[in-house]
Amino acid sequence: MIELANVHKRFGSLEVIKGVSATVAAGEVVCVIGPSGSGKSTILRCINGLESYEAGSITVEGVKVDRSAASITSVRTQVSMVFQRFNLFPHRTALENVVEGPIYVKGEPRAAAFDHGRQLLDRVGLASKAGSYPHELSGGQQQRVAIARALAMRPKAILFDEPTSALDPELVGEVLSVMRLLAEDGLTMVVVTHEISFAREVADRVLFLDHGLIVEEGRAAEVLTDPKHPRTQDFLRRVLRPI
């Protein structure tokens, strides 16, 4: 449902994506791993049209992603995003954050949107926090609200941009377990992450990115336990055995 063909992206003179091609099928969970600066997050942001790209093409359900075209709104309602730093709206409660998109972008009736919003907060384990403001919530709780906000758009896929990187270590688990539930429910997910064990357990496929290129890709178990490429081997050695 998401297709990238030979995508190139540069920031000024620095080329950060140097011809990436990949596909994500419906219902698939794809984890993108790689060292920082390898372009993982940039690719994700291109899929959602938060960044433009110079060459190649990205399509979502056959519609080309072009951030300057009118069609970008429909792409974004089909592909939601969860950010590293949550980016909840601080002036709205958890529930208001969740229903904001359905009511104001999709025009859903308020009552139905609020009902659905409460169900989603319940699903991420935060039914009791509906009336809390983001600053009253822990990082893990904020990220779970952000996931509920993404789900509220009834997207066909959700992109996760290092969803646990800004969290205290003891809060990482609660976010990963919510994501695990979503994966079991068959949601299409593209996850940029450093959580290798999560990737091994949940991902169908893993892409290993280095210097703007996909160096290795394959089934999660294969890439993560028996990497073929020396760069992947080196990276996994460093990540799995931190000093």
Partner 1 sequence: MDTFLKQSIEFLPILAQGLRLTVLVTVGSLVLSTVLGILWALMRVSGKGWLAWIAKTIVNVIRGIPIIVQLFYIYFVLPDFGISLTALQAAIIGLGVAYSAYQSENFRAGIEAIDKGQLEAAQSIGMGWWLTMRRVILPQAFKIVLPPYGNIMIMMLKDSSQASTITVAELALQGKLIASSTFQNTTVFTLVAALYLCMSLPLIWVVGRLEGRFGRR
CA distance to 29, 131, 140, per residue, from 98 (Å): 23, 11, 16
138 makes contact with partner 1 (CB under 8 A) = no
241 makes contact with partner 1 (CB under 8 A) = no
| β-strands 157-161, 188-192 pairing | parallel
Among 47-55, 107-115, 174-182, 213-221, the segment contacting partner 1 (CB under 8 A): 47-55
Q: Write the CB contacts of 227 (distance below 8 Å, at least 6 apart in sequence).
A: 208, 216, 233, 236
Residue 184 and residue 205 in contact, taking contact as beta carbons nearer than 8 Å: no
Q: Nearer to partner 1 by C-beta: 25 or 105?
A: 105
12, 13, 62, 91: residue in contact with partner 1 (rule CB under 8 A): 91
Residue 117 and residue 152 in contact, taking contact as beta carbons nearer than 8 Å: yes
> Exposed, middle or buried by CB within 10 Å (0-12, 13-18, 19+), for 233?
middle
6 makes contact with partner 1 (CB under 8 A) = no
**Residue 93 has what DSSP assignment?**
-
39 makes contact with partner 1 (CB under 8 A) = no
Token output for 178 = 């919510």
Among 32-40, 77-85, 122-130, 203-211, the segment contacting partner 1 (CB under 8 A): 77-85
Q: How far is the CB of 232 from partner 1 (least distance, A)?
A: 30
The SS3 call for residue 36 is: coil
57, 87, 138, 233: residue in contact with partner 1 (rule CB under 8 A): 87
Residue 8 and residue 14 in contact, taking contact as beta carbons nearer than 8 Å: no
Residue 75 and residue 49 in contact, taking contact as beta carbons nearer than 8 Å: yes
Q: Nearer to partner 1 by C-beta: 140 or 227?
A: 140
Q: Nearer to partner 1 by C-beta: 77 or 138?
A: 77
149 makes contact with partner 1 (CB under 8 A) = yes
141 makes contact with partner 1 (CB under 8 A) = no
Residues 179-218, one symbol each (x = binds partner 1 by CB under 8 A, - = not), give: ----------------------------------------
160 makes contact with partner 1 (CB under 8 A) = no
Token output for 201 = 């357990």
Q: Write the CB contacts of 242 (distance below 8 Å, at least 6 apart in sequence).
A: none
108 makes contact with partner 1 (CB under 8 A) = no
Among 118-126, 147-155, 185-193, 202-210, the segment contacting partner 1 (CB under 8 A): 147-155
Token output for 53 = 């790209």
List of residues contacting partner 1 (CB under 8 A): 48-50, 73-74, 76-77, 80-81, 83, 85, 87-91, 100-101, 104-106, 146, 149-150, 153
